[in-house]
Chain A
Amino acid sequence: MEEDKNKKENPLKVNRRHFFSQLSVGIGSLALGSLLIPDLFKGREDNRAAMPLGIPHFAPKAKRVIYLFQAGAPSQLESFDYKPTLRKRMGEDLPESIRNGQRLTGMTANQDKFPLMPPAVNFRQYGQSGTWISDYFPHIAKIADDITVVRSMHTEAINHDPAITFFQTGSQISGRPSMGSWMSYGLGSENKNLPSFVVLTSRGKGNSQGLYSKLWSSGFLDSKHQGVLLRSGKDPVLYLNDPDGISRSEKRDLLNEVSELNKLHHVETGDDEIESRIAQYEMAYRMQMSVPDVMDISKEPESIIKLYGEDCQVPGTYAANALQARRLAENGVRFIQLYHQGWDQHGNLPDEMAGQAKDVDQASAALVMDLKQRGMLEDTLVVWGGEFGRGNYCQGKFDPANYGRDHHPRAFSIWMAGGGIKPGLNYGQTDEFGYNVVENPVHINDFHATLMHAMGLDHEQLTYKYQGRRFRLTDVAGNVVKDLLA
């Protein structure tokens, strides 16, 4: 693919390497072709490498993903991973046998003690699945049998930026394409009037970390797979509306002319990005009609507004974005990425976490219920979770009513619902301290592989050759967690 691009860009600069590689392929394939009946010995699976893009490798369970990213890393110990031992051994030092050399961030590395801190919130069991959920999340508790909680997630990164970059792109170092871009690249678009990867952000009152557009970048993939950030308020997409005094037909004429010029330039240079740009202009033109329609929630009935919470009428809130996410999903957007900032509780955890939970609890649960009643949970995968977990020991002054927790990569919890994932499952376990995974660990790469599998993609087959090597979202790792699949 890259070679084709080079040749198009520099038609006369066929270098020695190209010449010989083409020559050898030519002779080799002639010889082979005459000797073998192609695919005589191959099963169906083996043909995937040659499969066209934009089509799932096998029949998918999920057609789209709504990713409710809780940026800053919510504490698993105050949400979904109930550890009564922390109360029994409150204040005791974290045993070295449990910490086992785990590196710490600069924020707690210099603490001389690591006293175990129990959660300041009660837990109860819900549903037939008996899922433990804290009182911070009373609404999510109501959908306990629809969701699957994975308590055995683990990552390598211990700081926000590498961790969230890892989660979004499969690498701690920036520059790789985002998950949503890979899905767009592998599956194409369901609705040509909207981007296939859309991003919505919101921010709670808790301690926040930055969000950068690199998280939804298409990296080395074609830029049409990049996530489109929809802003809150009157102009969801900047510069989408026509300037004053320009009519839609004038805009059409303008686009036609510009497109002609661009096509000329494309013939001259062969740069595929020009074609992308032409397509993006056309997409923007259609989005002028489709986006206002999708974003307009005025026709949503009262009962739906109440279900998501009154907040959903306030643009820019998590609840508004959750409702928006359902509307985007209905309109065929493949990957809808929400971020809610403010989950970085190094201090004042009980207060801040209660506030953050209040922001997202009702709307997250409402979204799952709303999708369920529309039959969309059948083919939409919802994921809720942060970039890592939080430590089981107290950060700062020891006060069970007002404490903090530092970052923790070795174990954390997320939940998923719908889209080919078993409902009502409790998957994976941590030790009694909630520090290490003791059963069914799920690494970020495994998570990505599983997500792709649900979407009908083989994570080992969806590759893009760039700078001489084939890249994957899961790089050279990752196993599909079959136990999670319905």
Chain B
Amino acid sequence: MVSWLGHWHPLVLHFPIVLLLLALFLGLTGRRVPPPLLVVAVLSALVTAITGFFLGKETVVRGSLLVWHQWLGAAVAFVSVVWYALSNMGLGRGIFAKVWQVVLLGLIALTGHYGGMLTHGEDFLALPIDPKQREIPDNPVIYGDVVARILNDKCISCHNPNKQKGELLMTDRDALLKGGESGTAIVPGKPGESEMVKRLHLPMDNDGHMPPEGKTPLTDTEIGILERWIALGASDTLRLSDLKEPEPLIGLVKSLMVPDPLDKWAEFPKVADTTLLRLSSDYLTINRMAANAEALSVDVYLPPEYDPQPVVNLKRVAENIVELDLSGIPIGSEEIDFIATCTHLEWLELDKTPIGDDAIEKLADLKQLGLLKVYQTSIGDKSLSVFKRLPNLKKLYLWDTDVTVGALEKFKGEAPHMLVEDGIDPEIEAFFIAGDTTVIE
């Protein structure tokens, strides 16, 4: 009965907040507080405080948040009763009453704040964290950098020292092993027997489903990560590099590390389909990278008579182009100047074009460029220094160019993380050229 009454606390608590604030507003602005209003407000504050104490009984382990909230709530009830007494004694409008009202106002704010933190988590009101800081580091520790992050996002708000729902803490690995009311949360090596995993898979309308209705559920990827982490023994030292293909955890973790390209493109200016239709031709195809995306991919093919104008006309949508294929097109400086304005370009194909070092020099500001094809061109060693300055360049295709072997080797040493494709391995090529293909023993 006591605990049932306690469950009314989240409903009742809204009354004293509203009514007391209303009464306080009238009081502090020097108006008369209607006695019935004050009576109801004070009574509701009392009921709320009492039901609050009942609800608090359910929680066995009490964090400091709960303790503060309880006693502040009690103080609100007490102070409001005193206010009622004061106004009954005819002291409702003096300076003393005003001070008293200010104290009450402060108490209500604090109690509400602590209560809010109890239900929504301590950092609910914190400013959004810069996405940069949330990036998973290279070669993350699976527990510390990935699993803990998922639990933090989706579970901690109800399973922390202040609000230990089901007596379960999810703040660290030992706590998960210790478990709560329903026993241990995870069984290392056995995701199927782990209470946490079982509850993630319960149907949404089952009361045992976690997170409960109304809270953000885990994505398939997140569930997959938790399962594989448990299956692999729920270690807290395991790193991504310790895993061997075809372990699915590798792909799952990596998918979290690579941001969804659609998010990256979300801020692009809008382009109408009619604009794209007008700018494209039989020899120039413009496609959206995905439905509803403003990011564009452009392919240019060689018409019987080439004219740079259709390419240059694309400057209207330059900021939207993320992929541009000009391979085999006899481009000149006009096109290069246009490319330099495509600041969001991630993928650029300039192979088999008549470009040289001066053209590459103009592309030095393409900060997003990740893949560049310049094979079968006459670029030379000077271009290598530009490639080095492109912060996002990860894949570079250059063979059959004027780049010297020595300079290229040096470049590869200086940019170890870049994939530099400089043609087919001569040894393998020799094997292919050697002719006879089949060895039968």
Contacts and interface: CB of A to CB of B under 8 A. Distances in A.
A135 B439 contact: yes
B343 interface: no
Contacts of B351: 374
A135 B293 contact: no
A139 interface: yes
B147 to A, nearest CB: 19
A483 interface: yes
A54 B273 CA distance: 12
Interface string A304-318: 001101100000000
Nearest to B284: A192
A205 to B, nearest CB: 13
B438 A369 contact: no
A72 B423 CA distance: 35
Nearest to B282: A192
Interface in A128-170: 135-136, 138-139, 142
Nearest to A122: B441
A460 interface: no
Nearest to A306: B433
A483 B287 CA distance: 29
Interface in A15-37: none
A372 B291 contact: no
B423 A373 contact: yes
Contact of B428 (A188, A369, A424): A369
Contacts of A60: 289-290
Interface string A255-295: 00000000000000000000000000000001001100000
B414 interface: no
Interface in B31-76: none
A307 B433 CA distance: 6
A307 B431 CA distance: 9
A303 B375 CA distance: 15
Contacts of B195: none
A369 B431 CA distance: 13
A375 B373 contact: yes
B30 interface: no
Contact of A56 (B289, B397, B433, B438): B289
Interface stretch (B121-129, B134-142, B244-252): B244-252
Contacts of B260: 59
A56 B323 CA distance: 15
B439 A138 contact: yes
Chain B interface bracket (under 10, 10 to 19, 20 to 34, 35 or more): 35 or more
A440 to B, nearest CB: 8
Contacts of A48: 291
Given A373-B423, A378-B395, A483-B251, A190 B285 contact: yes
Interface string B282-318: 1101011111110000010100100000000000000
A139 B437 contact: yes
B305 to A, nearest CB: 11
Nearest to A350: B440
B375 A57 contact: no
A136 B439 CA distance: 7
A324 B246 CA distance: 33
B424 A375 contact: no
B372 to A, nearest CB: 9
A426 B351 CA distance: 33
Contacts of B437: 138-139, 309, 357-358, 361-362
A400 interface: no
Contacts of A444: none
Nearest to A188: B287
A330 interface: yes
B429 interface: yes
B4 interface: no
Contacts of A289: 304
B240 interface: no
Nearest to B262: A59
Interface of A: 44, 47-48, 51-52, 54-60, 121-122, 135-136, 138-139, 142, 188-193, 286, 289-290, 303, 306-307, 309-310, 330-332, 350, 354, 357-358, 361-362, 365-366, 369-370, 372-375, 378, 422, 424-427, 456, 482-483, 485-486
10 contacts: A48-B291, A59-B262, A138-B437, A192-B282, A307-B429, A332-B285, A373-B397, A375-B373, A422-B246, A483-B246
Given A57-B291, A373-B399, 7 more contacts: A121-B440, A135-B440, A190-B299, A303-B433, A306-B432, A309-B437, A354-B440
